[in-house]
Amino acid sequence: MSSYHHGNLREALVQAAVVLGREKGPDGIVLREVARRAGVSHNAAYRHFADRDELVREVARVGLDELSAAMQARVKRVRVTDPVARARRRLRETGKAYVDYAIAEPGLFATAFSVVALGELDGPYEHLSAALDECLAVGFLPPEKRDGAELSCWAGVHGFSMLYGTGPLSEAPKKERDADLDRLLDRIDDSLRG
C-alpha cells in the first residue's frame, strides 16, 4: 500500500479505483479498499465522492478515454490512399481496437460499460460515427443504410468482445479469435456495402 501524503487526493483515489477496476471489474471497486490503497481513511474518501457510484463513474470515464485513445491510434495508422479502401479500413480498425481493448482490459472494459449511458459514450461512439460517415462520404455506404448503422456495428463488436473477453469463448486461441474477428468484420463490411 502506498500512503497518500499531499497533492490531489481525489485523483489518488481515482487512480486506486482504476487499479481495482482493472483487477476485479466494477464489483471490485469498494470505497473502503480504495481509501486503504490510497493510504487514507474511508471518511476522507467520502469527502471527495458522494457514494461508490460516483467513484465507479470516474473509473468508467478512464476506461472510455483509454478505449477512445486506442481506437483513434488504430485509425491514424491506416495509410491506404484509395478513399473507399481507406474508409473501409478505418472502420475495420475501429472495430479491431474496440475488441483488442476489451480483451486486454476486461475489468476496466466491464467497468466502463457498467454505469454509462449512451450520451456519455462520446469518444468511442464518435469514432464509430466518424468512420461510418467517412464510408458514406466516399460512396461505400449508401445513405439509406447510414441511419442506425452504429448500433449494428457496435452490437457486433461488443458482443464479440464479451464472448471472447470473459465469456464462453475466452479460452479460444488468439489465432482462432483473430480469424473469427476478421469474419465478423467482413460480415459488417458486407452489410454496409451499397
pLDDT tens digit sequence for 26-68: 999 999 999 999 999 888 888 888 889 999 999 999 999 999 9
> Looking at residue 1, what is its pLDDT?
45
Domain with CATH 1.10.357.10 in the chain: 57-192
Domain with CATH 1.10.10 in the chain: 9-49
Q: What share of the chain is helix, strand, coil (3-state, %, to 5)?
A: 75, 0, 25
pLDDT in tens, 64-89: 999 999 999 999 999 999 999 999 99
Q: What percent of the chain has pLDDT over 90?
A: 81
Confidence of residue 117 (pLDDT cuts 50, 70, 90): low
Residues 6+ apart with CB under 8 A from 181: 95, 96, 99, 160, 164
Residue 106 contacts residue 166 (beta carbons within 8 Å): yes
> Looking at residue 119, what is its pLDDT?
66
Mean pLDDT of all residues in 143-166? 96
Whole-model pTM? 0.91
- In words, the CATH class of domain 9-49 is mainly alpha
Closest CA to 86 of 130, 122, 121: 130
Give CA–CA dist 29/19, Å, rounded. 9
Compute the radius of gyration of the chain from its Cα atoms.
19
Mean pLDDT of all residues in 124-134? 96
Fold (topology level) of 57-192: Tetracycline Repressor; domain 2 (1.10.357)
Residue 194 contacts residue 143 (beta carbons within 8 Å): no
Mean pLDDT of all residues in 160-179? 97
pLDDT at 8 over 50: yes
Which residue is listed with cell 466494477? 26
